[in-house]
A = this chain, B = another copy of it.
Amino acid sequence: MNARVFVNLKPGVLDPAAKAVQGGLHSMGFDEVQSLRLGKVIDLKLEDRPDAEERLKAMCEKLLANTVIESYRIEIGD
């Protein structure tokens, strides 16, 4: 089975990398960019298990996301 995990900074956490990208786009003339957020996406291929979702959540909590400053969202595919 396939799964996808999105990891994003929580609202309110400063994101200087996103500000730099936005500034770069503005200086290149892309003034229509009003806001920009950078996140990570992790695509996993997993052995089928009945408790796959629970274990994915554990992977996020323990390694994939820093839950102090990041939130995560799990999408399970086929």
Contact = CB atoms under 8 A, between A and B. Distances in A.
Contacts of A21: 42, 63-64
Contacts of A25: 59, 63
Interface residues of A, number: 31
Given A24-B63, A63-B21, A63-B24, A55 B39 contact: no
Contacts of A55: 30, 32
Contacts of A35: 44-45
A76 interface: no
A36 interface: yes
Interface of A: 6, 21, 24-25, 28, 30-47, 49, 52, 55, 58-59, 62-64
